[in-house]
Chains A and B, each alone.
Chain A
Amino acid sequence: MSVTQRPVTAAAPPILEVRGLVSGYEESLPIVRGIDLDVSPGEIVAVLGPNGAGKSTFVKAVAGVVPTFGGRVSLRGRDVTARPAHLRVTDGLAFVPQTENIFASLTILENLRLCAGILPAALRQPRIDAAFAMFPDLGSRPNLVAGALSGGQRQMLATARALIVDPAVLILDEPSAGLSPKLVHDVFETLERVRETGVAILLVEQNVRAALSVADRGVVLAEGRLRHAAPAVEMRADPNLGALFLGSYDHAEATP
């Protein structure tokens, strides 16, 4: 199989466009070394690859929390590369980190109100109501301190937190990490529902099988570069894929 990128046609024009992105913590030592990627509304793209491939740094650079040294990130056709992370949220880009992704000392409602703060006043309560409708578990006890939530509920709150601003693009860094198979299923089912509202989703995952089961496309990173991109259906069916591109494929199978 060739490692050159296959052209993958997206259904709608991309809402997130990444071109030649170079990023890392030190300019002399880039971790992401020139990545191109488009994501369209209502599409789920899974970012896969072995540990150390730069998956997490890549999405953090897109969110603006890791410095960019080259290339460009555009959102709705607008260049946001120079925008700080907090303004990219206003621009419509929401990011759910892998760990510490909720404010544990705030209540569930406070977590949501905090993030709704950038919305016009009239939209805040309707968005919070919508989040509680989507996650009834959270809505049933809004005044519980978020630190008391279980792992799965935390992931729900983290997702609700990010969705409260009605983003165009939702990025999740390993949402299934540390969750039981049942909860992993719940998380991905939630993403399906979010996608149906037209949100573009970029998903970093170690749990390759689960990620490819919901994703439309998969992209494989290795050493900071895009090594392979294909529709998720093809990737799932490809018997050589694990051995060729996914260093952690077997591992992920054994410990979901």
Chain B
Amino acid sequence: MNPQFVVDGLVAGAMIGLGAIGVTLTYSILRFANFAHGEFITAGAYAALALSGLLGLVVGSAPVGDFSFGWNVLLAVPLAILVTGGLAILLDAILFGVLRAKASAVIILVIASFGASMALRSLLEFVFTSQPAYFTNELQIAIRSSWGLRATPDQMLMLGATLVLILAVHLLMTKTQVGRRMRAVSENPALARLSGIDVRSVVRTAWFLGGGLAAAAGIMAGLLVQIRPYMGFDLLLPLFAAAILGGIGSVPGAVLGGIVVGLCEALAVQTVGAEWRAAVAFLILTLVLLLRPQGLLGRARS
């Protein structure tokens, strides 16, 4: 067997894991599955595309070092993360927050998220057209390691950046007051209020974090493949498979789940054929729900 699937799977899995963190945060704090999360990924990629176009006028778009993209893309990344985090907060303020205030049932929130997903996707398609877009037209030569594994400089940068982001989120959740508040609200919002915590502000933080990480995942997907209006929606099943496999509510679990899903997909492409890739996430999701519904790192809920 060609071990190349490990590199491809890790890169895809890191991207899925970043996206799945948002899914797991929203689910554990607001108790609903947000199907519009895929569109945060798409919106993040398009925001970075638009911003890098603007920045390109100022700083130029010549490739940096061995990478395929220029400073304009690198500078657009933090801005796109902020914009997408803001979009997530806005969507909560005008849609989900309103429904929560009316004490709507979970199913209403879920269906509303489907509606938001379609609306956002159509809006992005309207603005950016359905033609695939690219951050750069540069070709990249993969570097071959001593074990015969190939990876492009872009892919290696993605893995490194994901590692840094995941570590930062982990430290935020475990070591800071912001993280303690999110964990407290996720466990017991009523007691969180009685502990002096403004639950609404914690909810906004969770949306911002989820949206921002989705943007990071979207930019990676855009750099590695292409930017399309359906790119996030097509990732939705792998995202949920990763979040549920890792254990809903667990940030390290979401990352681990993402890497497992990414590796399995890459392995399936190599062994049974690329047309089966999409079935892998579905298969994993089904097996987890049947065999270990609390996921790898999740706690069983009473």
- Measured CB to CB, the closest approach of chain B to A219, in angstroms, equals 23
B-contacting residues, A194-226, CB 8 Å: none
B37 CB–A CB distance under 8 Å? no
- Measured CB to CB, the closest approach of chain B to A116, in angstroms, equals 9
- A: number of interface residues (CB 8 Å): 27
A45 CB–B CB distance under 8 Å? no
- Measured CB to CB, the closest approach of chain A to B199, in angstroms, equals 7
B-contacting residues, A70-115, CB 8 Å: 84-87, 89-90, 94-95, 97, 100-106, 110, 113-115
Whether B191 contacts A101 by the Cβ 8 Å rule is yes
Whether A114 contacts B184 by the Cβ 8 Å rule is yes
Whether A114 contacts B299 by the Cβ 8 Å rule is no
CA A104 to CA B183, docked complex, whole Å: 10
A118 CB–B CB distance under 8 Å? yes
B interface bracket (residues with beta carbon within 8 Å of A)? 10 to 19
Whether A86 contacts B184 by the Cβ 8 Å rule is no
Known: A103-B187, A103-B188, A105-B187. A89 touches B194 (CB 8 A): yes
The residues of B that contact A131 with a CB separation of less than 8 Å are none
B125 CB–A CB distance under 8 Å? no
Residue in chain A with minimal CB distance to B197: A86
B181 CB–A CB distance under 8 Å? yes
Whether B195 contacts A115 by the Cβ 8 Å rule is yes
The residues of A that contact B188 with a CB separation of less than 8 Å are 100, 103
B100 CB–A CB distance under 8 Å? no
Looking at chain B's contact residues, the main secondary structure is helix
A154 CB–B CB distance under 8 Å? no
The residues of A that contact B184 with a CB separation of less than 8 Å are 103, 106, 114
Whether A110 contacts B180 by the Cβ 8 Å rule is yes
Known: A103-B183, A106-B183. A117 touches B190 (CB 8 A): no
A65 CB–B CB distance under 8 Å? yes
Whether B191 contacts A113 by the Cβ 8 Å rule is no
A22 CB–B CB distance under 8 Å? no
A-contacting residues, B156-201, CB 8 Å: 177, 180-181, 183-184, 187-188, 190-199
Whether B194 contacts A63 by the Cβ 8 Å rule is yes
The residues of B that contact A86 with a CB separation of less than 8 Å are 192-199
Contact with A along B75-91 (1 / 0, CB 8 A): 00000000000000000
CA A89 to CA B177, docked complex, whole Å: 17
| Residue of B177, B183, B187, B193 touching A85 (CB-CB under 8 A) | B193
CA A222 to CA B202, docked complex, whole Å: 39
CA A97 to CA B193, docked complex, whole Å: 12
Whether A117 contacts B191 by the Cβ 8 Å rule is no
The residues of B that contact A89 with a CB separation of less than 8 Å are 194-196
13 additional A-B residue pairs with CB within 8 Å, beyond A113-B177, A117-B196: A65-B194, A86-B194, A89-B195, A94-B194, A100-B191, A101-B191, A103-B191, A104-B187, A105-B183, A114-B177, A114-B184, A117-B177, A162-B194
26 pairs, CB–CB < 8 Å, chain A vs chain B: A63-B194, A65-B193, A85-B193, A85-B194, A86-B192, A86-B195, A86-B197, A86-B199, A95-B194, A97-B194, A100-B188, A100-B190, A100-B191, A103-B188, A105-B299, A106-B180, A106-B184, A106-B187, A110-B180, A113-B177, A114-B181, A115-B195, A115-B196, A117-B180, A117-B197, A165-B196
